Amino acid sequence: MARFCDFNVPYSENTENLHQIVEMAIKLGYESVALNCCVTPGTKKGQAAVPSPPKPVELSQATLAPLMAQRKTFQQLTRLTAIIETNEQKYKLNPNNPPVNTYDILAVQPLNMKMFEAACHDLEVDIISLDMTQKLPFLLKLTPIKRAIARGIRFEIVYAPAIRDSTLRRYIISNATDLMTFCKGKNIILSSQAEKAIELRGPHDVANLGVLFGMNQAQAKDAVSVNCRAVLLHAETRGSAVGVISIERIMKQTPGVISVERIPPASADKRTLEKDSGEDPPGKKPKMTAQKKIK
Amino acid sequence: MVRFKHRYVLAELIFGKDLLIYNITQRVVYAAVRDIIEQLHGRYGIGLITPGLSVKYINEYTRMVMVRCRRENLKLLTSAIPFIKHLPDGKGGQLPCFLRTLHVGGSIRACQKWLVQHNRQVLPTLLLRCTSKEEKSRMRKSIFNSTLVKEEPWNEGKDDT
C-alpha cells in the first residue's frame, strides 16, 4: 500500500508550532509531509521573487521510533505555491530558475480564468490549488480540466478550513463537489493546510471526508496515498528530458555504494543529453533512486 | 437470526493537552457525535442516525471509544467524525480534541480482537518513556509476559491464569 502523504503543511517562522504539526502527522500515520511556502511572485522590486526552500524540521529519535519499529521512513519535502494573477507573475515561475528548481513540488493557485487556463494548458506545475474557502472567482470548465488531467496535473482540496469554521465548510463542500463533477473523483489530492496540530486528521478520516466531497471509497483513499505519490513522480519528470532521460552525477563516497546527484536539465549540456539518449535503451525508465549498489 | 446489522467504529481520542486522565464519559461523546451530525447532515441526518446510535465502550486510560450505528447509515457517521474539534470537560469548559478512526467492524467482538492486537503493537513505545535502566528492564519483562498470552481474554468459561 502506498504511503500516506500530506502535501500542505504551511511553513512559518514559528518553529515550535511547525514541530508540533509534523510530530502529530507522524503520530497519525503519515509517512510523507511537504512544507508549503506560499508566495505571490513579483510583489516587491529588487527582492527575490521566490524565497529559498525551508529547512526540514529536526525530529528526535523518540518521535520517529514508532515508524522505525514498522520499518517505515519519514520523508519531508518542500513545496512552493505561487498565487498568480498576471502574465508577468506567470513567467517568474519558470521551473529552471534557481530558487524554483530547488523545491520538490511546484503548485499554483490561479486567481482568474485566464491564469487557470494557462496553468492547465502549459504551465510546468504538479498541483493546481484553488482557494475553495470562498466563491470561486471563475467558472470551472471541462476543456482545461481535461487537458490538465491528460498532462498528469493534480487538483488539490484543502480540508482544515472546513474543520475550523462551518461557513467555510459550506463553501468547500460546494466547490469540491463542483470540481468533482469534472474530475469524476480522479486526479484529486486531499491535504490539510493545518495551522495547528489539532486541525490535522488521520489519513482514514481524511478519506472519509473525501466521501463527503463526492468521491467513492477507493478514490478517496487514493487521494491521500496513490495520487500524492503520482505528484512526486510528476515532479521528478520535470527535472528530466521528456520524463525519459535524466542526468546524474556519480560520486564515489563509500566502497560498495555510489551516491547519485541529480542535475537539473537547464545546467546540463545539450550535447551530453543527446549522447546519453543514444546509450540508453529505448523505453528504459528514468533513474529515480538516490543510491545504487555496484554489481 | 440477526435483525439489525450494525457497524462499530473504533476511534482514538487525541487531545491537544497531554494529561494522564480526562473526565470523558460515554454520554459526552454521544452528545458530541449527535451534535456534529446535526450540524453537518441536518435534521434528516439526525433522524436517520438516532435509532441505533450509541457509544458502547470508552476507556479513559487508553482513550479508546467505540461508537455503534446501523450499517446503512455508516457513511453519515464516518463523514461527520472528523469535524469534532472539542469535547466538554465537565467543568463548563471545552477540551480541544479529535477522534482518529482506527477500525470499523461488524461486531463488538471483532473490534475487541483488533484492539488487543493494536495495543500489543503499541506496547513497545512505552519503553521510550522509561527513564532509568531498571525501569526499562522491568517494563520489557512485563511486555514480554503480556504478549505471550495466546488465549482471548474476553472468552468466557476459559479463564486465563
Q: Using the 8-state DSSP alphabet, how is residue A241 labeled?
A: B
Site from B79, B103, B143, B147 to mutate, A interface, most A CB atoms within 10 angstroms = B79
Q: Which residues of A touch B39 (CB under 8 A)?
A: 166
Angle (CA) A24-A165-A201 rounded to 5° is: 25
Q: Using the 8-state DSSP alphabet, how is residue A86 labeled?
A: S
pLDDT digits (tens, 9 = 90+) for A166-188: 888 888 888 888 888 888 888 88
CB contact under 8 A, A62 and B124: no
Q: Per the structure block, which three cell numbers stand in for B117?
A: 492486537
Kindly report the CATH number assigned to the domain that includes residue B26.
3.30.70.3250
Residue B40 lies in a domain: yes
State CA A161 to chain mean position distance: 19
Spatial separation of the C-alpha atoms in residues A22 and A9, rounded to whole Å: 8
Please choose, from the candidates A56, A7, A67, the residue with its C-alpha nearest in 3D space to the C-alpha of residue A200: A7
Spatial separation of the C-alpha atoms in residues B85 and B19, rounded to whole Å: 17
Which strand (E) or helix (H) includes residue B132? none
Phi, psi of A51 (to 5 degrees): -75, 160
Q: Which residues of A touch B97 (CB under 8 A)?
A: 198
The predicted model gives B18-31 an average pLDDT of 79
Q: Which residue of A has its CA nearest to B83?
A: A163
Domain interval for residue B41: 6-106
Q: Are A231 and A101 in contact (CB under 8 A)?
A: no
Q: Which residues of A touch B82 (CB under 8 A)?
A: 159, 163, 201, 205-206, 208-209
Spatial separation of the C-alpha atoms in residues A220 and A223, rounded to whole Å: 5
Which strand (E) or helix (H) includes residue A165? none
Phi, psi of A252 (to 5 degrees): -95, 125
- Cβ-based neighbours of A80, under 8 Å, separated by 6 or more: A36, A37, A39, A50, A53, A100, A103, A105, A106, A107
State CA A209 to chain mean position distance: 20
Domain residue spans of chain A: 5-237, 243-293
Q: Which residues of B touch A66 (CB under 8 A)?
A: 125
> What confidence tier does B44 reach under pLDDT thresholds 50, 70, 90?
very high
Identify the contact set of chain B against chain A, taking CB-CB distances under 8 A: 14, 16, 39-40, 75, 78-79, 81-83, 85, 96-102, 124-125, 128
Spatial separation of the C-alpha atoms in residues A225 and A250, rounded to whole Å: 31
Out of A35-39, A55-59, A220-224, A252-256, least confident range: A252-256
The predicted model gives A159-164 an average pLDDT of 87
Q: Are B56 and B68 in contact (CB under 8 A)?
A: yes
Residue A273 has pLDDT above 50, yes or no: no
- Cβ-based neighbours of A55, under 8 Å, separated by 6 or more: none
Q: Which residue of A has its CA nearest to B86?
A: A198
Q: DSSP string spanning B83-125?
A: G--EEE-SSS-EEEEEEEEEEEESSHHHHHHHHHHHHHHHGGG
Please choose, from the candidates B34, B102, B32, B120, the residue with its C-alpha nearest in 3D space to the C-alpha of residue B63: B102
CB contact under 8 A, A69 and B78: no
Please choose, from the candidates B65, B64, B33, the residue with its C-alpha nearest in 3D space to the C-alpha of residue B50: B33
Residue B98 lies in a domain: yes
Total residues found in chain B within this entry: 161
> What confidence tier does A283 reach under pLDDT thresholds 50, 70, 90?
very low
Q: Which of A69, A199, A211 sits opposite B79 (nearest CB)?
A: A211
Max CA separation in chain A (angstroms): 60
Site from B13, B98, B126, B130 to mutate, A interface, most A CB atoms within 10 angstroms = B98
pLDDT digits (tens, 9 = 90+) for B130-155: 777 888 788 778 777 776 655 555 55
The predicted model gives A246-270 an average pLDDT of 58
Spatial separation of the C-alpha atoms in residues A283 and A286, rounded to whole Å: 9
For domain A5-237, the CATH class is alpha beta
Q: Are B104 and B7 in contact (CB under 8 A)?
A: yes
Residue B126 lies in a domain: no
Q: Which of B39, B81, B97 sits opposite A205 (nearest CB)?
A: B81
Residue B46 lies in a domain: yes
Q: Which residue of A has its CA nearest to B99?
A: A201
Please choose, from the candidates B101, B104, B29, the residue with its C-alpha nearest in 3D space to the C-alpha of residue B71: B104
Spatial separation of the C-alpha atoms in residues B95 and B104, rounded to whole Å: 25
> What confidence tier does B47 reach under pLDDT thresholds 50, 70, 90?
very high
| Site of grid cell 462551518 | A166
User: What percent of chain A is predicted at pLDDT more than 90?
Assistant: 0
Please choose, from the candidates A216, A207, A154, the residue with its C-alpha nearest in 3D space to the C-alpha of residue A185: A216
Site from B10, B73, B81, B102 to mutate, A interface, most A CB atoms within 10 angstroms = B81
CB contact under 8 A, B124 and A69: yes
Q: What is the pLDDT of residue A276?
A: 46
Q: Pinpoint the alpha helices (H) of chain B.
A: 26-49, 74-80, 108-122, 133-148
Q: Pinpoint the alpha helices (H) of A248-292.
A: 270-279
CB contact under 8 A, A202 and B85: no
Residue A259 has pLDDT above 60, yes or no: no
Q: Per the structure block, which three cell numbers stand in for A210?
A: 473525501
CA distance A209 to chain B (A): 5
Helix (H, G, I), strand (E, B) or coil at A196: coil
> What confidence tier does A121 reach under pLDDT thresholds 50, 70, 90?
confident
Residue B145 lies in a domain: no
Q: Which residues of B touch A24 (CB under 8 A)?
A: 14
Q: Which of B82, B85, B125 sits opposite A205 (nearest CB)?
A: B82
Spatial separation of the C-alpha atoms in residues B159 and B161, rounded to whole Å: 6
Per-residue b or e along A162-191, where b marks 16 or more CB atoms closer than 10 Å to that residue's CB: bbbeeebbebbbebbeebbebbebebbbbb
CB contact under 8 A, A208 and B124: no
pLDDT digits (tens, 9 = 90+) for A40-80: 776 555 555 667 777 777 777 777 777 776 777 778 888 88
Q: How many CA atoms lie within 13 A of B132 on its CB side?
A: 3
